[in-house]
Amino acid sequence: MERPSRFWHRFDIRRIEDLGNAVLGAELEAIQLAGPPIRGSLAFAARDGIVFSSGLIHGRVAIRGPLSRDAVTVGLGLRLGAGSRLWLNEVVDGDVGIFLPGDEHDAIYTHGSLYVAATLTPEQLEEEAAREGLVLDPRMLARTGLHARPIPSAELAWIRPRFVRIHDADAQGEKDHRELSFALLHMVVAHYARIPANGDGRIHPRGRGRIVHRAREYIRENLAAPISIDELAAVAETSRRTLYRAFSDILDDTPQSFARRLRLHGIRTELVSGAGAGGTVSAVARSWGAGADLGRLSARYQELFGESPSATLTLHRELRAHAMI
């Protein structure tokens, strides 16, 4: 991907792997959730060493991983589709958060979600505050988490349509990001100058989110083996019925379907990277405990990613070969 400049550069989202760059320079895993293949666009720019990232997402996706190993990221949800979540807790338009170096971003974005993020050092953040005559509240950089209150809708009304135009492939204006970057950082810093004393950051999953979190982590750790509903219910410390309700509410999915989805993503990751044993679809599928019925596997893979496993393998072999030339 090109190095960002002071102008916004827009890229179509064509495959789920593109969302590994949902924030430029991050180490992100993107999981296609129930629904049609993800589409939309990403856009990037930079100014004075500060990197700006924005995404417009059509579909439902889970994105997880650290946003930066050595810098702070401030993120703002300009428009969040119904059911969007951070750390499995529901978020709304205007929610803004701070992500410290190495801390994990764990989000679900639903159809129509639009976000923007700035990645910078704490010193740069303080410089931006000083530029606006503001002093950072020490709690702003004390921990990763969400501000207790979203930015008021009236304050979003100016900046949101400008980012919509950045993601419009046919739009001619608003490609120079300087005004937008100043406005974004000023908005976030000014908002954090008003941190309520009872703000908890909403980091830890609550209610049914806690149930899904426990079950999801167990699924991730045991993907290559069969997983029963009774196992998941026991791990999540709940009943089978409540487990199903929690997955339906949070992920719009069943536990079994979610586990299959993660296996398919694991298979795809190996096909894309070429790390799979034997270098064939059947060998990779077997390593994930999914080699018994390749026909059914291929159909589910096609439905999820819009291409067959063999097409993924062929395409990325060609891309790797081209990169070595």
Report the CATH superfamily, name and number, of domain 9-192: Jelly Rolls (2.60.120.10)
- In this prediction, residue 313 carries a pLDDT of 87
- 56 torsion bin: left (phi>0), alpha (psi -120 to 50), beta (else): beta
User: Which helix (DSSP H) or strand (DSSP E) does residue 57 occupy?
Assistant: strand 50-58
- In this prediction, residue 2 carries a pLDDT of 47
Q: What is the 3-state secondary structure (H, E, C) of 246-269?
A: HHHHHHCCCHHHHHHHHHHHHHHH
Contacts of residue 220, Cβ cutoff 8 Å, sequence gap at least 6: 262
Which tokens go with 13?
């989202």
- Name the one residue in this structure whose structure tokens are 């401030």: 74
- In this prediction, residue 81 carries a pLDDT of 94
Residue spans of the domains in the chain: they are 9-192, 208-324
* Amino acid symbol at 139: R
* CATH dotted code for 208-324: 1.10.10.60
- In this prediction, residue 251 carries a pLDDT of 95
Strands (E) across 87-237 are located at 89-90, 96-99, 104-109, 113-120, 145-146
Please, what is the end-to-end C-alpha distance for the chain in angstroms? 18
Query: Mean pLDDT for each consecutive 10-residue tract of the chain (325 residues)?
Result: 68 94 95 91 92 96 96 97 95 95 96 97 90 80 90 93 91 61 87 65 85 97 92 97 97 96 93 72 88 88 91 76 55
229 three-class SS: helix
Instruction: Please check whether residue 210 is in contact with residue 202, taking contact to mean a CB–CB distance below 8 angstroms.
Output: no
Instruction: Please check whether residue 281 is in contact with residue 294, taking contact to mean a CB–CB distance below 8 angstroms.
Output: yes
Q: Specify the pTM.
A: 0.90
